[in-house]
Structure 1
Amino acid sequence: MHQGCAAVLCVLAVLGLEVAALGECELARLLQDKLRYEMRLQYMKHNFPIDYTLRVQHEEVLRTANVTRLRDGKVSEASLRYLWFHACSQAVLHILEVLPEKHPSRGYTQELSQLLDALGVEYSGYRQSDVDAVVADLVKQLHSGDSRQKAVRPKALLDNCLKVLRMLFGAHCRWDSA
């Protein structure tokens, strides 16, 4: 029994290393696959009480309209992807915080968190000066916890993450956004 657990832990460790070694585009592709509609519906809607909402910061709800507005303000694509990463990471962490240890959505949410952590390694080299000022301010607000709160359904948070992911990474990574 213990040998079986050790083997599983070894496989998971190797897979974790493989995920960490992937590039930005491949990690974004894996996230897109993991955020398929059926999975979001199952894990973020059906496994939660009807009309369940989370209190999240206003900046964590990153929509395509927000990205378009920032693009029109001449914010770089790399900065927008950096902002998306922080907004989605915070959203997933908020979802994880409310899930009990044995909740059926916990494993799925942890997998999302691990993929985002691996993507965070890609962005760990960014310095404040590498990111547009408006994005740096938004990221600072995201992590400060001082902004106004709004109630959002867990599925809606992940819906926005996927839509913006496709918008920002589809052309950059040269994969179909469908």
Structure 2
Amino acid sequence: MIQLSTSVCLLGGLFLIAPVLMAPTLANMCRPLKTLNDSLSHRRRYMKHNFPINYTIRVHHKEIFKLSNISKMRLNVEELDNLVLQRLWFQVNQGVLKKIIRVMPERHPSRPYTAELERRFRDAEGVFVESHPAEVFQQELPDTIQDIWDGLTEEPDRVPDSSWRFASPKSLLDNFCHTMFCLFSECFASTEAPQDYCDVSHWRKGRKKDLQPES
């Protein structure tokens, strides 16, 4: 495994723009992602029941990363490689987890859960970075993706007030989970029938519980 510092350094770099639109998820990514999903399956208990009703935290508007954002980028950015979106997913949710942990007192009942979730996320991130050659992270991004990246990595005190939004911890982890299934769908293939995890309708209430993780 690579050192965490190497992972963080590479996350600050640039991505490969490959001609293949949907690069397959590397097989060694599936184990850490499934472990991460095991934690995410308990998000209702820890991110909803342990917080006051209507509780929200402040996040950058680009950190509210939904399936609709992925669909728009795929439509508007020519030959967008799935690898670029996967890298963006890691950057977005790195910030989301930090912000959730930051608002929790040391004795908050959800803090151990969130710390473990972040640890598993870091493990998956490390495997992802290790699974690609360094050159992958040294190429230019499409302008649209670069603008998002720059906004996410800007110093908080330099972010304009208009770029901040408020969202519940539960909704942020719902987005985290749904977009993970969409971008790494090979790791979550159903044995019963093909599932389009990028389709918002898949996650609507009323779906069979065994076809989706807990929301």
Question: Which TM bucket (shorter chain)?
Answer: 0.7 to 0.9
Equivalent residue letter for 2:151 = Q
| 2:106 is aligned with 1:75 | no
TM-score by length of 2: 0.65
Match of 1:54 in 2: 57
Alignment partner of 1:107 is 2:112: yes
User: Is 1:123 aligned to residue 113 of structure 2?
Assistant: no
When normalised by structure 1's length, the TM-score is: 0.78
Matches within 5 A, 1:84-103: 84-103=89-108
Kept after mapping to 2: 8 A contact 1:31/1:115: yes
Q: Distance in 2 between matches of 1:62 and 1:158?
A: 10
Map of 2:9 onto structure 1: none
Map of 1:1-178 to 2, 5 A cutoff? 23-36=28-41, 39-72=42-75, 73=77, 74-121=79-126, 122-123=128-129, 125=134, 126-129=136-139, 131-144=141-154, 145=156, 146=159, 148-171=163-186, 173=187, 175-176=189-190, 178=211
- Matching residue's letter, 2:170: K
Distance change >3 Å, CA 28–CA 130, structure 1 → 2? farther
Percent identity reads 32
Contact 1:128-1:136 within 8 A present in 2 as well: no
CA distance in 2, matches of 1:68, 1:169: 15
**Distance of aligned partners of 1:50 and 1:23 in 2 relative to their CA distance in 1, 3 Å threshold:** same
SS in structure 1 of the partner of residue 139 of structure 2? helix
Q: Tell me if structure 1 keeps the 8 A contact 2:181–2:188.
A: no
Residue identity opposite 1:160 in structure 2: N
Return the alpha-carbon distance in structure 2 between the equivalents of residues 25 and 160 of structure 1: 19
Shift of 1:134: 2.9
Structure with the bigger percentage of helix? 1
Task: Give the drift of 1:132.
Answer: 4.1
- Which AA in structure 2 matches 1:166? F
Contact 2:36 2:120 in 1 (8 A): yes
Whether contact under 8 Å (1:76, 1:132) holds in the other structure is: no
Cα deviation for residue 139 of structure 1 reads 2.0
Structure 1: distance between partners of 2:35 and 2:141: 25
Counterparts of 2:116 and 2:189, CA distance in 1: 22
| Mapped contact 2:56–2:169 kept (Cα < 8 A) | yes
Count of equivalent residues: 154
- Look up the equivalent residue of 1:67 and give its one-letter code: I
Give the match for residue 10 of structure 1: none
Q: Counterpart of 2:107 in 1: which secondary structure?
A: coil
Q: Deviation at 1:174? A: 5.8
